[in-house]
Amino acid sequence: MSDLSSYRLALDALPHLVWVAGPDGSLEYLNRRCGEYTGLPLDDLLGWDWGWVLHPADLPDTLAVWSESIRTGASHQVEFRLRRHDGEYRWFLARAEPVRDADGNVLRWFGTCTDIEDARRTADQFRAARLLFRALVERNQDGLALVGPEGTVRYANPVAARLLGFVTDELTGTDLWGSVHGEERRAVSLWWETVLANPGQRLATTTRFLQRDGAPLRVTVLASNLVPDPDVRAVAVQLRPAEEPGTSAEGSV
C-alpha cells in the first residue's frame, strides 16, 4: 500500500469531517466522512460548491471568516450548521491551519469539522436552567446569600442587599457578620461555628443587624452548610425580618 493510500485510510477513519483546501480557499479533498454525512458525491462539494450544504443563515458569516483567513493567512475557526443527508441541520465547529513553504507562503489549508450539536444543546439547557434559577432567587421575597466559611458574601440577591441597607450587588464581597450589632457578635460567632461544624443541617438564629444608616433591624437567619458540596462550597444563608422579638443568637442555636 502506498503512503498516499495509507494517509487516506487514516483520514477516512477519523470521526471528523476532514478537508484540504488550496491557498485560494477552494476545496481540493474531502474524507469519506464528508460524503457519508452529506449523502452527496464528494466531487459535488469540491471547489467552492460546499456553501449550499450550510444553513443559509450561517453562510454569510462563514464566508466572511473564511475569506479573512485566506487574506491574512491566519488560523481559521468558525461555527455553522451543516445539513445532514436526512435534511437535519447540525452545528459544527470548523478549524483550519495553513501549511506554508520556506518563504511563509500558504501552500494548503488542512481543516476539520467537528459535530458540536449535542454540546451546544447541553450548554443551552444549562444556560436556561441558570437563568431560571437566578430569576427565582432574585425574585424571592427573602434575602438569599452564599457565604464563604470566613463570612465573606459571595453572592446576595437584591432583597438581602436592601434588607441590610446596601445597593444591589454592593453586599457581595463584604463580611456579612460585620453588620451585626456589636453586642451580639460573639453569640453570632458561636452560632456560625456550629453551622460550620454541622454540614447539611439547617440552623436558625435571630439577631440584630445594623443597617448602613445605623438603624437596628432584627433579622432571622437560617443557614445550611453546603461547603462540602463541590458545586457550592459555601453556606446558603436566608435572611428575613423577624416578625416578633426573638431570643438572642446565643440562645437560638
Q: What percent of the chain has pLDDT over 90?
A: 61
Distances (CA, A) of 109 to 63, 83, 95, 101, 115: 15, 23, 10, 12, 20
What confidence score (pLDDT) does residue 140 get? 66
Helix, strand, or coil (residue 37) = helix
Amino acid identity for residue 206 in this structure = T
What is d(CA 11, CA 33) in angstroms, rounded to the nearest whole number? 9
Question: For residues 81 and 91, is the Cβ–Cβ distance under 8 A?
Answer: yes
Say if residues 58 and 64 touch (Cβ distance below 8 Å).
no
Give pLDDT tens digits for 112-138. 999 999 888 887 777 776 666 666 666
Q: Per CATH, the architecture of 140-252 is what?
A: 2-Layer Sandwich (3.30)
User: Identical fold at 3-120 and 140-252?
Assistant: yes
Residue type at 197 in one-letter notation = A
Domain ranges of the chain: 3-120, 140-252
For the stretch 155-178, pLDDT in tens is: 889 889 888 888 877 889 999 999
3-120: CATH class: alpha beta
pTM here? 0.54
Summarize pLDDT for 56-112 with one digit per residue, the tens: 999 999 999 999 999 999 998 999 999 999 999 999 999 999 999 999 999 999 999
